[in-house]
Amino acid sequence: MNTWHIHIGGLVQGVGFRPYVCRMAGTLGIKGCVSNGNDGIHILFNATGEQADAFYSKLVNSPPANAIIRIHHCERTHPKKFDDFSIQASDTTAKPDMLLAPDIAICHQCLHEIQDPVSNRFQYPFTTCLECGPRYSVISSLPYDRENTTMAELKMCACCDTEYNDINNRRHYSQTNSCPYCSIPVHLFDNQGTAICHDTECAMVLVHQALQEGKIVAVKGIGGYLLLCDATRQHSIRTLRERKHRPAKPFAVMYSSLAMMEKDLIITGKEREALTGKVSPIVLCKLKQEPATGLCTNAVAPGLDKIGAMLPYTALLFLIAKRFAHPLIATSGNLSGSPVIYTDEDALIWLGDQADLILAFDRDIVTPQDDSVLQFSERYEHRIVIRRSRGLAPNYFPSPFEIENNILAMGAELKSSFALLDDHNLYVSQYLGDQGSFDSQESYKDTLRHLSALLHFKPCQILIDSHPNYYVSTLGGDIGEKLKIPVSAVQHHKAHFCAVLAENDLLNEENVLGVIWDGTGYGDDQQIWGGEFLLLEDGDISRYMHLDYFPQLLGDKMSKEPRISAVSLLRKNMDHLMMIRDQFSIEEREFYLKLLDQPQHLLTSSVGRLLDGIASMLNIQSFNTYEGEAAMKLEAAARTCDNRSFDHYAIPVNKNRLDWSVMTDAIMIDRKDDIAVPVIARKVFVSLAMLIRNVAIRAGVKKIAFSGGVFQNALLVDLITELMQEEFELYFHKQLSPNDECIGFGQIAYVQLKEQKEKNNRHLAEAGGSLI
């Protein structure tokens, strides 16, 4: 009998791998030990060659449900005799080389326990096990052991300790284990920060009473505080909007069960799968014409036909939602434009202006995260990531990159997210918001510092967006200067294109058309790009075509007021311009007429601004109270169109520019002829899909890749698929969002593309030289 060593790397900590190894060893009669290391798990054991092969095969072919195995090997090692099989102390000597366990929504077994009066965890709000609970949000250092999490100071009782050490218990070596006898302390405060009670059941009763009375309660979740209130009570929702200064942005709604959710919403198979999965994200679902729970639909999501629905992802949230028995608004506890509040201290300082009660507990959050948001297109059920955060961040696996240097990619300014390439491991941070506020900038830096410290990460190169005024680009430059490493800029839309290419293993393809449509990005010609057709040919990216430029009036003000986009688009047709005059005061009309007479030096090709302008032309939205409001309501209007025809407007090609003015003129003529707004709105999106098809035919390509925030539009994605899937190969994002959260990943992909091009050129040169 020999001694063997198995090493398994990847996502193997925080997923119950060590207990799983113990049980497997017991089943096979194998003696040895297993331990965590900074590079995964290590197993030493005594066995014959046949036994070792069987043990090894079972571990790598049937791992725990939440595990991801990236590497594994088994080899004979120095003899050592074992008398049993045990879990040994972790080894922290190696540099971290692993994927990090994301936070996992409460599992079905734990849900059953907290509803079972016989269970010792009946109605216990912090019930977790090997397969669920906080992970990434509570890790302070590696490897993943209780002493390296914010559970370190919370000691287990004798009962939990017995479970922890029982090889046959589902909480064997569960690092977040606790029960009512060693409960995580709970604290309920009023909105002045005065403690009301520290008893769990008392706090739960008072929270329930407050919600019944129409009050707003701030509750600590896995990644930060949530604000809860009755989603069936107009007054409560109106009060929440007033306190958050959020007049129209839709709220997410939490239901205690799918059965309750289906009273209000049409839930497809893919949506059901996502809602009940281990991520438990917010999923945008279609409203029924007559919701049966009393949900105040227009107060929750004004002007929209979908709402963001979610199921409780912790025991605490489930117990609150179950007891309340009505839908609950569940929105991030934050100040307008700032990141989610996650410390108890900040909650008491800032959330008292928004909430009537604040429910805190003594398990600290290290890494704040918003809830992830997904949607699925109606007809083809394309999965579209709107926000990648809790449960999805920070791993990206498998990494598509083969780059020797460690890279820090800073990403973009809006919907910010950075990416780290650490040898063969790739990490894309959670959504970090728009970097326009000091708090968001501090959150970005804190997250970067924490993840870098966890991984002992040291970059050799930094990548930034080419926009000269992005905060994150300036920060990247400062880091590069401090570390004395190179800093390289990548154009925004090329990063978008490379992101979707890398997600679909297309970086080595010879001829791919990229359709990159968004709101804004700094172009190579110093103008604002956003309606781009890029072409990948032989490792190079060129700007093949783009939406014709129109003036970017008044800078960023234009993105906040769709009516300004309409003015810019209609500026050459005074009759049509006058049709939207009611959206302006007399003084404003005079101002914009004078402005249009002046030379405009900043131009845009943005599809995002085009859609904003069209929404204003149709009197759907003149002012955006939140990002994307006009475009979302335009899409919602289009979905209400009963006529599913492919009638569309022409968008002619003029050399390398696409003349949108023919379409906008036709839209205004349709308006004058009293054509219904939903009909016009649908024609707009069909027109954009037809435009992509026409450009692809002209370019002579068969492969088309899509990126940019416009492709969060599920209707447009379905129309593109319906019109083009028979003729073309269509590629969309998979793990990442098409919005700017993918930019950091795309910046690394751009480096991969360039390195591959240089490598191919070297091979060609060598081959050429050998023929002489």
Radius of gyration over every alpha carbon of the chain, rounded to an integer in angstroms: 28
For 671, phi and psi rounded to 5 degrees?
A: -60, -45
User: Do the beta carbons of residue 485 and residue 462 sit within 8 Å?
Assistant: yes
Q: With contact defined as beta carbons under 8 Å apart, do 393 and 428 qualify?
A: yes
The tokens describing 116, both together, are 């079972």
Strand partners, 47: 2
- Alpha-carbon distance of 128 to 176, in angstroms, equals 7
> The tokens of 411 are what?
């990403």
d(CA 564, CA 551): 10
Structure tokens at 578: 């006058």
Could you give the residue ranges of the DSSP H alpha helices within 43-199?
Answer: 49-61, 108-115, 158-165
* Contact in structure between 67 and 15 (CB atoms under 8 Å): yes
Cα dist. 687→142, 229, 660, 720, 759 in Å?
52, 41, 10, 10, 41
Q: Which residues pair with 362 in a beta bridge?
A: none
Residues 6+ apart with CB under 8 A from 82: 31, 32, 33, 44, 45, 46
From the candidates 36, 148, 177, 504, which is the catalytic residue? 36
Q: 36 catalytic, yes or no?
A: yes
> Measuring CA to CA, which residue among 367, 371, 364 is closest to residue 329?
371
Preceding omega of 102 cis (within 30 degrees of 0): no
* Cα separation values, 486 from 465, 744, 746, Å: 14, 16, 18
Residue in 18, 121, 135, 363 annotated catalytic: 18
Structure tokens at 591: 């101002």
18 among known catalytic residues: yes
* Cβ proximity of 143 and 92 under 8 Å: yes
Residue 509 phi, psi dihedral angles, 5° rounding: -75, 155
Q: Confirm if 227 and 355 have CB atoms less than 8 A apart.
A: yes
Instruction: Give the distance, in angstroms, between the CA of residue 328 and the centroid of all CA atoms in the same chain.
Output: 22
Q: For residues 683 and 688, what is the distance between their CA atoms, to the nearest angstrom? A: 9
Distance CA 291, CA 263 (A): 6
Task: Tell me how far apart the alpha carbons of residues 607 and 316 are, in angstroms, rounded to a whole number.
Answer: 43
Per DSSP, 64 falls in state -
Burial class (CB in 10 A: 0-12, 13-18, 19+), 414: buried
Query: What is the spatial distance between Cα 605 and Cα 521, in angstroms, rounded to a whole number?
Result: 10
Give me 562's structure tokens: 């769709």
Omega prior to 398 cis, within 30 of 0 = yes
Angle at 711 between CA 699 and CA 626, to 5 degrees: 140
Which one, of 221, 141, 171, 173, lies nearest residue 18 by Cα? Answer: 173
Q: Residue 728 carries which side chain, given as an amino acid letter?
A: F
Core vs surface per residue 433-442: b (16+ CB within 10 A) or e: bbbebeebbe
Report d(CA 464, CA 233) in Å as an integer. Answer: 46
Residue 647, Cα to own-chain centre: how many angstroms? 34
* Strand, coil or helix: 456: coil
On whether the CB atoms of residues 531 and 578 are closer than 8 A, the answer is no
| Residues identified as active-site | 18, 36
